[in-house]
Amino acid sequence: MAAYILEQSFNPWESISEHQKSTTLDNQFGATATFIGTMRDFNDNVAVSAMILEHYPAMTQYYLEKLIDEATCKWNLLDILIIHRVGNIKPSDPIMLIACWSAHRRASLDACSWLIEELKHRAPFWKKETRANGEYWVEKNTNGL
Amino acid sequence: MSIQVKFFASLKETLNIDDHDIKSAATVGEVWDITTNNTERPNNVLVAINLEYAQFESTVKDGDEVAFFPPVTGG
C-alpha cells in the first residue's frame, strides 16, 4: 500500500508496472482496477492552458493514507497505489493514479471507484487554472458525469 | 498557549493573510476572528485541527495546528 504526492510529472503505466513488481503480490491477484485522471484543456466550456495544484502537504499525505486504510477495511484488497500530482501541470499531464489489486474483480473495481470520489471530496488539493483572461481557482468538483 | 494557524488556496489569496501563531483562543471560531480581524466568514470555508476536519464550534488547545481552506478540488 502506498500513497505518493509528486511535484514532477509521472508515467502512470510505468508506475503501475513498477509497483506491481516491487510488492509481494506474487500470483495472488486476479484483478487490477485503475483510474488515471488527466488534465483537460477546457473546463466549464472555457479553454485552460495550464494549472497549478496546491495542497496542504501534511494533511494531504495523511488523508491519502487514511483513504487507503479505509478502503482496505471495506474491501478484500491485496494492494493499493495512489499517486497525485501537485505544482505546475499542463494539458494531457496525468494528475492522479489510483490502482487497486484484488483476487477477484468486484473488490478492486468498487474500491477504485470509491477511492476516486472520496479523494476528490476529502483530500486537500486545490486547482488554479490559467485561462486566456487570467488565473482562476476551481471552486468545486465536476459531478463526474 | 500557542496555536499555529494556516490558510490555503483562494482563501489565503482573498484574505491576503500569512500563516502565523496566536496565543489564545477557545474555539476554531475564535481563531478565525482573531486571525482575520473579524472578517465575515464565507459559507463554504472548511477547517481542520491537527490534520482532521473539524467544526467552527470545535475547541482548540495549546499546540494545535488549525487550517482554514476552501472546498477541495483535487483528482
| Domains in chain B, number | 1
Chain-chain contact of A53 with B70 (C-beta, under 8 angstroms): no
* Distance separating alpha carbons of residues A123 and A59, to the nearest angstrom: 8
Q: How far apart are the first and last CA of chain A?
A: 29
CATH 3.90.1170.40: does it fit domain A2-137?
A: yes
Q: Is B74 part of a structural domain of the chain?
A: no
**CB of A126 within 8 Å of any CB in chain B?**
yes
User: B4 pairs with which residues across the strands?
Assistant: B21, B65
* Closest alpha carbon within chain B to A98: B75
Q: Is B20 part of a structural domain of the chain?
A: yes
Q: Is B48 part of a structural domain of the chain?
A: yes
Chain-chain contact of A54 with B9 (C-beta, under 8 angstroms): yes
pLDDT in tens, chain A (145 residues): 999 999 999 999 999 999 998 887 778 899 999 999 999 999 988 999 999 999 999 999 999 999 999 999 999 999 999 999 999 999 999 999 999 999 999 999 999 999 999 999 999 999 999 999 999 999 988 777 7
Q: Is B23 part of a structural domain of the chain?
A: yes
Q: Which of A96, A95, A130 is nearest to A112 (CA)?
A: A96
For chain A, which residues make up each domain, given as ranges?
2-137
Question: Which residue in A58, A116, A137 is closest to B51 by CB distance?
Answer: A58
Nearest-Cα distance to chain A for B42, in Å, is 13
Q: Are A34 and A96 in contact (CB under 8 A)?
A: no
Question: Which residue in B51, B71, B74 is closest to A84 by CB distance?
Answer: B74
User: A55 pairs with which residues across the strands?
Assistant: A125
Q: Which of B24, B74, B21 is nearest to A56 (CA)?
A: B74
DSSP B39: P
* Strands A94-102, A50-55: pairing kind: unpaired
pLDDT score of B52: 98
**CB of B69 within 8 Å of any CB in chain A?**
yes
Chain-chain contact of B74 with A138 (C-beta, under 8 angstroms): no
Q: Is B16 part of a structural domain of the chain?
A: yes
pLDDT score of A86: 98
pLDDT score of A144: 75
Q: Are A71 and A103 in contact (CB under 8 A)?
A: no
Q: Is B75 part of a structural domain of the chain?
A: no
State the complex-level ipTM: 0.96
* Distance separating alpha carbons of residues A118 and A86, to the nearest angstrom: 18
pLDDT score of A143: 76
Sheet of B65-69: strands edge to edge? Answer: B20-22, B3-7, B65-69, B46-49, B52-54
pLDDT score of A51: 97
* Strands B65-69, B3-7: pairing kind: parallel
Chain B positions touching A127 (Cβ under 8 A) are 73-74
pLDDT in tens, chain B (75 residues): 999 999 999 999 999 998 989 999 999 999 999 999 999 999 999 999 999 999 999 999 999 999 999 999 999
pLDDT score of A24: 75
- The CATH code of the domain that includes B59 is 3.10.20.30
Question: Which residue in A62, A116, A125 is closest to B72 by CB distance?
Answer: A125
Please give the residue range of the domain that contains residue B43.
Answer: 3-69
Q: Beta-carbon neighbour count of residue A17 at 10 Å?
A: 11
Q: Is B56 part of a structural domain of the chain?
A: yes
Q: Which three cell numbers stand for residue A115?
A: 477511492
